[in-house]
Structure 1
Amino acid sequence: MDRKKSDRIKLIQQALQDQKAIHLREMAALLDVSEMTLRRDLGRYPDKFHLLGGHITLAFDPCDTAEYKLAEQGTRHVEEKRRIGKLAAGFIQPGDTVFFDCGTTVPFVVDFIPDDLEFTAVCNSLNVLLKLQQKPNCSIVLCGGTFHRKNQVFEHRDESSILDSVRLTWAFVSAAGVSQTLGVTCFNFNEVEVKQKVLRQAQHCMLLADHTKFDAVKTAHFATLEQFHVVVSDKKMPKTYRDLIQANGAKVVI
């Protein structure tokens, strides 16, 4: 369904908060509009956006070409995460209560939640909180505590009582590694307790993992693949994992 022009402009600005450039073709596909329509939109805001080599950037000094080239090198991996975010956001319904995990993929989910959707969000990380506060109809529950700068997570033993009082429709959980034999893992032990609790308490559990996370194992184990009802990845997700997850009765979305 086509988005209104003002919504498209806002989403482009949100996307460029996470990276310096995104290809015009990729953004047009994510917004469900033609490249020509998107070019017209951008042309109305020359003070906000530039088109350079087929990439959309925020307006900046044209002499700053080194920064642009560096950003262009890293667009592909972020674009895959953005696709995952778009697919995952489509599962949220009005009135849902959703836990948003920490990590670099989860903020992209928030980007694609319509501004007029009323829902409750539970989170324990700063990067996700900053995205959620841009959604005017979102009620936010933050699991507070000690702030860990490395992964931007708030950790406190009392946060378990906060989660105990919340009933979750969805738990959107990220991972740094997914293995058939060694399960689902992350880098930091201070994430494990919350991940495990929301997986136990949510009606529906969703794993967000791009193709680079499969056949990878990190330090902290927190789940098995069987605990997830839906796995959202990209088109390069290994077929062996697709078959395994579907055989366990879960849904794969790519």
Structure 2
Amino acid sequence: METKQKERIRRLVELLKKTDRIHLKDAARMLEVSVMTIRRDFSQEDEPLPLALLGGYIVMVNKPAAPTPATNAIAARPHHKDDLPIAILAAGLVNENDLVFFDNGPEMPLVISMIPDEITFTGICYSHQVFMALNAKPNATAMLCGGTYRAKSDAFYAPDNHSLLDALNPRKAFISASGVHEHYGVTWFNIDDLPIKRKAMAHGMRKILLARYALFDEVAPASIAPLSAFDVLVSDRPLPPEYPAHCRNAFVKVITPDSDSEATL
């Protein structure tokens, strides 16, 4: 029988197949244990581990090369390195039997990959990459909003703006951003995505914004909604000055790796 310690090591190995390293605090939050517990796992293991602790990070020892993708596969859009802690925190918000909308940001496949395989959930999306990530989860049901596919944005768009979201109310809607500003609100680089983003905002029971620290005070061409329209904001670092008070006044829950509150909804 697999011990809890070996299960944690196994889960860390699976996590590190998707990224080069993970901060110790992020790993502890994802595994729902303390940092000290993970440190003990490394110090008490008698057999050589495929992982190593270097400073405050866990890394893979002799990480195998990634498999070569099929020649007809669309190249995955690279996510930013700061998306990893956001993905870990966002994945922790997905619960059993949830209906979840996943936006078209490059971090969304990473979020999906971090959701534990044992969780059964349904994901709604309009991106090919996001759809493929959902299909890779053994207990996920993928629902793709249909339409005309545009390779440049890796998304499907319906000319009449009809979609699955017209008849569904996702329990959680994960929304990507290109900028967050006190005056201009939450913005996005691609105007074509606005109709489905706004529809997800209108139908989603919990609107969850995923935004890196570097995106604050930035303004992109397309306006999604004011920051106050969101229920939750997930970021990789504590927010810049003024934003914590703005979120408190608007009743927006802020979740970062340094948050004291549990990342659950």
State TM-score, norm by structure 1.
Answer: 0.78
Deviates more, 1:150-159 or 1:177-186: 150-159
Separation (CA, whole Å) in 1 of partners of 2:189 and 2:234: 20
In the other structure, the counterpart of 1:142 is 144
Task: For 2:16 and 2:97, locate their aligned partners in 1 and report how far apart those are by CA, in whole Å.
Answer: 26
User: Which stretch has the larger CA shift, 33-42 or 101-110?
Assistant: 33-42
Q: Cα gap change, 1:212/1:155 in structure 2, threshold over 3 Å: closer, same or farther?
A: same
CA shift, 1:210, in A, is 0.8
**Residue matched to 2:210:** 208
In 1, distance between residues paired with 2:192 and 2:48? 46
- What letter matches 1:121 in structure 2? G
Q: 2:180 aligns with which of 178, 181, 184?
A: 178
**Partner SS for 2:248:** helix
**Preserved contact between residue 177 and residue 185 of structure 1 (Cα < 8 Å):** yes
Cα deviation code 1:32-58 (max 9, x no counterpart): 56357469699566xxx8999984363
Aligned partner of 1:58 in structure 2 is 63
**Counterpart position of 2:69:** none
How many residues align? The count is 232
In the alignment, which residue of structure 1 is the partner of 2:197? Answer: 195
Gaps in structure 2 of 5+ consecutive residues: 66-77, 257-265
Partner residue of 1:128? 130
The aligned counterpart of 1:22 is 21
The letter for the 1-side match of 2:146 is: G
- Look up the SS of the partner of 1:109 in the other structure: helix
Distance 1:100 1:138 in 2: 13
CA distance in 2 between counterparts of 1:58 and 1:156 reads: 42
Structure 1: tracts of 5 or more residues without a match = 61-73
Q: Which amino acid aligns with 1:243?
A: A
**Aligned-partner SS, 1:194:** helix
Residue type matched to 2:182 in 1?
A: Q
Question: How large is the Cα RMSD of the aligned pairs?
Answer: 3.2
Q: Is the 8 A contact 1:28 1:38 kept in 2?
A: no
Q: Does 1:8 align with 2:12?
A: yes
Where does residue 64 of structure 1 map in the other structure? none
- Partner SS state of residue 114, structure 1: coil
- State how 1:150-161 maps to structure 2 within 5 Å: 150-157=152-159, 160-161=162-163
Is residue 2:248 matched to residue 1:246? yes
SS at match of 1:122: strand
Indicate the percent of aligned positions where both proteins have the same amino acid.
33
Give matches, 1:17-166, under 5 Å: 21-22=20-21, 25=24, 28-29=27-28, 31=31, 34=38, 37=41, 43=48, 55-56=59-60, 58-60=63-65, 78=81, 80-157=82-159, 160-166=162-168
TM-score (norm 2): 0.75
- Tell me if the contact between 1:101 and 1:123 (Cα under 8 Å) persists in the aligned partners: yes
Separation in structure 2 between the aligned mates of residue 41 and residue 177 of structure 1, nearest angstrom: 48
